[in-house]
Structures are given as structure tokens and as C-alpha cells.
Chain A
Amino acid sequence: MANICEKLIEQVSSDSAKLSPELQSHVLTCPECQQYLESIKGLKAARKGMSAKEAAAIAGIVGLISKEAAASAAAANASSGGAAGLFGKAVLVVVVVAALTMVAFDKSSEKAPLPANKGINIQTEDSTSQIGSADSEKQSENSFTSTDELAGTNEADNASSTADSSRWQNSAEQDKIDATNSIIVSPDQEDIKSR
């Protein structure tokens, strides 16, 4: 077999039209190569067409591919529309937050001016809790009680402070006496003494 014939076998596939010009001119003069090409043509001509089973299988696969394509197209649309959807969601969230804030402000402004007899000026912590609470009546009662208690405590404090001041005066006088007694003794001297 000539080298050129081997080249033809390498190149030959579906039809002779794919042969290079060099090989095409060779085929015209080489009976062996002509027979190779004839045998390939014969092989192709002898092939049956698509069977019903093959056609059904192909139709099934093509159907699946179409569904796949439709699904991916839908997904692409959803993702492109997703940006607009996201913006819409963001706007909705802002609106809801703004509405809630306004409602909260309205409630707080309703609750802020407490009745004068509740004595909010005494305890600021209680007044804060009253603003944030829904059950303001009960809370204000509690705070009222605690204010009374606090007032009582103040009275007691006042009484005790009077007692303390007299005690303080007594102790100051005592300190004066102590100071007069110990004025000549410095701490160092006490140390010396103790030694």
C-alpha cells in the first residue's frame, strides 16, 4: 500500500469532499483508493434510517431538553426581575418601619403628660417605665405608691438627719476635746510611744 493511500484512509470519513486537493487528484489515478471510497459510500448507503424506538427515545430526550431550557429561561427571568422585586421589598420595609415609628410616637405622646396628682416629678425612673409601658394605670399606681413610700422615707431621712446632725454636733465637740488632749502628740510620736 502506497503512503498516499494510507493518508487517504486517515482522512477519509463521511465523504470524499473533505479530501485535500492532493488526495483528490490521487484518487482519480489510484483504483485501490477509489475502491476504498466506494466501500465507504456503500457502508453509508446500507445504513437504515431511524427506527421507531430510536425516534421515540429521541423525542423523549428532546422534550426533556425543551423543559430544561424553559426552566432555565424562567429562572433567568426571575433573577432579572429579582432586582426590581428586591427594591419593592426594601420600599415596603421602609414604609412599614416608618408606620410603626409613627404609631410609637403617637402612643408616647399620649402617655407622656401624666396626671399631676401622680407625682411624676419625684421619681424619674418610674416615669420612664410608664412611658414605655402599655398598662400605664397600674404602673402609675405603683409609682404613686413608691413615691409615697419615698416621701415617707424622706421624712424618716429628715428625722434621722436631724438626729445625725445632733449626733454629729456631739461628736464634733468630742473631737474638739480629743484634739485638745492629743494635740501635742503627732503620729510619729505615737509610734515612738508605742515602741
Chain B
Amino acid sequence: MSNEKEFSQLIEETYRSLSFFLRYLGLPEPEVDDMAQEVYIKAYRALDRYDEGRSFKSWLFSIAKNTFIDWTRRQKTQRKFLEQNFIREFSETFEDDANNRSDIRELISKLSAEEQILVELRFFQDLQFKEIAELTGLTVGAVKMRVMRILERMKAGIKREHYGEHL
């Protein structure tokens, strides 16, 4: 991928996920935009080193992770992850009541930070379980288990709604 236009398209597709991933890692809110910019520029400059056999999104997020690690080294301070802030930000990207279905936003806000980032990476970025495990530091089994739980809860919500409609 050497086309500037294609890369711009990719930025549009991944910007939200990347910023949530950086927040999930514990990057303070004021730093998110700057670091996202740094990550994209790094990725653009390193395009010739990108292995075509690998998922581009997975490669981009691994650059983000390394950039974040470098940042924490430079800061020399303990990172503080404010889970409630992350969860609020993430759930706000969902409608309150989309298509007259169950309240997905409420359901999302009840998920843990890890589960929320799994939703983002798995369902909105199509990353594989293995790739998600590498990025989040979880085991592949743990990632699968959490995704199953999320789907169970969502399925239960849909079932309840569907069941309620017929009552």
C-alpha cells in the first residue's frame, strides 16, 4: 500500500479504534490526538517495511503499542488508567436506542474496559483473536472467552427484547 489516498482511507477507518486503543493502554486524554498522529506518520514512513502477509490494521496497532511504550519511558511516570473515563468515552460512540433495538449503549457501558476494546478490535476492525491477544496482552483463550460473554449478553438482550415484544 503505497497510495496516499488509500492510506487516508485507512486513517478514516481506524482513527476511532486507534484512539480507543491508546486510551485503553492508559494514555492521558490530552495526548491521544498527538500520539495518533505520530502513529500514522510512523506507519506511513515505514510502509515499505510492511509485510503484506500481515494484517495492516494489526501492524498499525502494534506501532501504536510501541509508540505508547516509548512515551511511557520518556515520561518516567506511572501511567494511570482511568477506566471510567474510557468506558464513558467508548459507550458514547453508540446510539442510545438504535433501530428500536435493545439499548446497546447501556449494554456497552456495563462491559469492562478490556471487553470494550475487544468489541472495537474484533467487531469494528476485524482483527483475529491472536492479533488482539498480542495487542492487549491477554491470552488467545481469554480473548475468546470474553468475546463469547459479550455475545451472550447481547444475545440475551436481543432475546429479552424480542420476547418482550411478543408478550
Contact = CB atoms under 8 A, between A and B. Distances in A.
A125 to B, nearest CB: 66
Given A13-B126, A44-B123, A47-B124, A68 B44 contact: yes
A186 interface: no
Contacts of A169: none
Interface in B86-133: 92-95, 98-99, 101-102, 104-105, 119, 122-124, 126, 129
A65 B44 contact: yes
Contacts of A13: 122-123, 126
Interface string A41-81: 01111111011001001101110111011000000000000
B11 interface: yes
A45 B101 contact: yes
B123 A40 contact: yes
Mostly, the B contact residues are: helix
Interface residues of B, number: 40
In this complex, the interface size class of chain A, counting residues with CB under 8 Å from chain B, is 20 to 34
Given A61-B36, A68-B45, A45 B99 contact: yes
Query: Which 10 pairs show the lowest CB-CB distances between chains A and B?
Result: A46-B98, A39-B154, A46-B104, A35-B155, A13-B126, A69-B4, A46-B94, A62-B8, A42-B101, A46-B95
